[in-house]
Structures are given as C-alpha cells and as structure tokens.
Amino acid sequence: MQRFILIRFVQAMIAVLVVSVIVFSLSHLSGDPLTTIMPMGDVEPEDIEALRAKWGLDKPLHIQYGLFLGNAVRGDFGESYAFGGQTAMGMVLLRFPATLQLAGAALVLTIIIGLPLGVITAVRKDGFMDYQGKAIAFLGQAIPNFCLGIGLMWFFAVWLGWLPTSGKGGLDHLIMPAFTLALFQVAALLRLTRSSMLEVLDTEFIKMARIKGIPEWKVIWKHCLRNAFIAPLTYFAIIIGSFFTGTVVVETVFSWPGVGQLAVNSVFARDFPTLQAVVILGSSIYIAANFIVDIMYAYLDPRIRYT
C-alpha cells in the first residue's frame, strides 16, 4: 500500500512538472517578454538590460526554468503585466474566493440532485423514473456547459426575467452558474450512485433487513445507501478537480469574477505571469484530485494494485 501511494505520488509530481515545463516553454516560445511589455522606442537600452538581469532573462534557458520552478514552488510567479504593481499570485488569490463560492454551490447542487436521483433510479430500476434518470444522465453529458449557460440565461433572465443575467451578487446570481457547472457532474454522480446502489440492493444483508421488517425507506436510505456511498465518495475528488477547470467556461458565460475569468482575460492581455499562476495552480488541484481518488480507490478496494 505504501509503495503504491509512493508510486502514485511520484507520478502526480511528474505530471505537475510536465505542466510546468509545458507552461514555461510555451511562454518562452512567444519571444522576449520584455519586448511585449515595454513600449518601443522610448526606453533606454540600459533600463532593459537592468530589467533583464533583475528577472533573470539573461541566463541560459535551463537555469531560467530552475528559477521559475523555484519561485513557483514558493508561490511567486512574478508581477502581473496587465495590472502593474500586483503580483500574479495576489491576483489569483483575490479572485479565488469567488471561484470557491461557485464551486462550493455547484458541489452542493450536485449532491442534492445527483445522489437522490441515483438512489431512486436504482430502486425503481427499469421504471419510469429510471428512464427519466437515464435521459438526465445522457443530456447532462452531451450538452456543453456554455450552451447550457446561454440557454438558461436566455430563458430565466431574458425571457422570464426571474434571475439576473450575470455578474456576482446575492444568492440569485449564484443559481444559474452553479447549476450550469453542476449538471455534467450530476449526470456522472447519478450513474455512479445508481450502479453502486444496484449492487448493494442485491446483497444478502439487504434481504435480511427486509425480512426483519425494517421499513422500506429505512432499508434503502440508511442500510443500502450507506454501503453504496463508497464509490461515489471517491468520485467527489474528481468532481472538485473538474469544477476548477469547468469554471473557466462558466465564469466567462456569466461574467463571474473568479479565477477562470481571470485566466481568459489574461490570455487577451497576454499577461503571462498571471496565466502561468492560474494554469499551474489549476492543474495542480486537478492532479491532486486525481491522486486522492486513486489512493481512496486502492484503500477501499484492495483488489486495485496497479504496480
């Protein structure tokens, strides 16, 4: 087990390193960052050289990468090009609570919609509800989230006028973005819960519980769900990881002032330090989530041992 965790951990670290190499080398493909941020002509050559030395741009590439990595580990991605005086990390941290709020709301929605639906569809297998559930699962995984967002925005905000179109504000601003972010994972959680419930419903101890005369709702929601919950539980890490990359699209649709919107804005502003910070942090969360899932699976199901 320890060996397995160690191997997976090393793999996760390699993945983070690969991301950092990709990000670093791509950023340097674009040419000298100084020429992109300095106004041409009215800057003294000495000033440019001084800045070059200060940022370490005069050193060979592999040393620059070492410096970049060393600073990145300490959370220092340099100054934002677009917002002078702000550090890239500071920009990300400023936007982080909004993203966390959105992801948290989406997680709550995923659980309160996906889990009960998964249980009901399993209990009523091949029934009316089961087919509804299948339709939801199918739609949820086929509708791109920006399409869902635009559709919801038009219907509820423009047509009915019930909800605000975009931006951050009270609870009513949160409903549509959170639902948009959640739907894909609702579908995934529904399918997972359903299949795992079906397995548990078929076991001896559930039959025993029924024979003992325990009320059916108690058998299902207490005895059965508690055992069936293990597989979906490990999936939560994946859900959280995917939310942090899904927010890029959802925040752009709803003008939600979070990290995802910051990433898209920094693409247009060619603000590389900020983009690097977002991408490396986002990827790290995603990779960490994957890592946690693997460990949890292996812990809960001893048959899983890859190497």
Partner 1 sequence: MSLNSIGTDNARTPRLMLTRLWRRVREARRLPLLPSVLLLVVVIIPAVFAGQIAPHSPDQGDLNDRLLPPAWVGETIKYKTIVEKVNRENRMNEILLKDAERRVKIGDGTITGGGQNVQIGDQLEILSRKAGSTKYLLGTDKNGMDIFSRLIYGARLALVVSLLGIVVSGIIGSSLGIIAGYYGGILDAIIMRMVDVSLSISLVLIALVLAAVRGPSIENVLIVICLFLWSRYARLIRGETLQLKSQDFIARAQVSGASNLRIMYKHIFPNLANTIIVLATLQIGFVIILEASLSFLGAGVPRPNPAWGLMVADGRELLSNAWWVSLVPTVAIVLTVLSINLLGDWVRDWLDPKQRQI
3-class secondary-structure state, position 87: strand
- Number of residues that this document lists for the chain: 307
**Shortest Cβ distance from residue 133 to partner 1 (Å)?**
14
Q: Tally the C-alpha atoms within 13 A of residue 204's C-alpha that lie toward its C-beta.
A: 0
> Terminus-to-terminus CA distance in the chain, angstroms?
10
Q: Does 283 bind partner 1 (CB under 8 A)?
A: yes
Q: Does 68 bind partner 1 (CB under 8 A)?
A: no
* 260, 86, 69, 62 alpha-carbon torsion, rounded to 10°: 110
3-class secondary-structure state, position 77: coil
* Residue of 136, 263, 277, 292 that binds partner 1 (CB under 8 A): 263
* Residue of 137, 266, 277, 292 that binds partner 1 (CB under 8 A): 266
Here the tokens at position 255 are: 């003008």
**Shortest Cβ distance from residue 11 to partner 1 (Å)?**
6
181 alpha carbon, distance to own chain's centre? 10
* Residue of 119, 232, 252, 256 that binds partner 1 (CB under 8 A): 252
Which residues ranging from 126 to 165 are in contact with partner 1 (CB under 8 A)?
Answer: 126, 128, 131, 138-139, 141-147, 150-151, 153-154, 157-158, 165
Looking at the Cβ atoms of 100 and 157, the one nearer to partner 1 is: 157
Looking at the Cβ atoms of 110 and 274, the one nearer to partner 1 is: 274
**Shortest Cβ distance from residue 182 to partner 1 (Å)?**
17
DSSP string, 235-252: HHHHHHHHHHHHHHHHHH
Looking at the Cβ atoms of 83 and 221, the one nearer to partner 1 is: 83
**Residues 246, 184: contact at Cβ < 8 Å?**
yes
* 142, 143, 144, 147 alpha-carbon torsion, rounded to 10°: 160
**DSSP structural state of residue 214:** -
Give the amino acid at 7. I
Q: Does 22 bind partner 1 (CB under 8 A)?
A: yes
**Shortest Cβ distance from residue 260 to partner 1 (Å)?**
9
Which residues contribute to the site for partner 1 (CB under 8 A)?
11-12, 14-15, 18-19, 22-23, 26-27, 29-30, 126, 128, 131, 138-139, 141-147, 150-151, 153-154, 157-158, 165, 245, 248-249, 252-253, 263-264, 266-268, 270, 272, 275-276, 278-279, 282-283, 286-287, 290
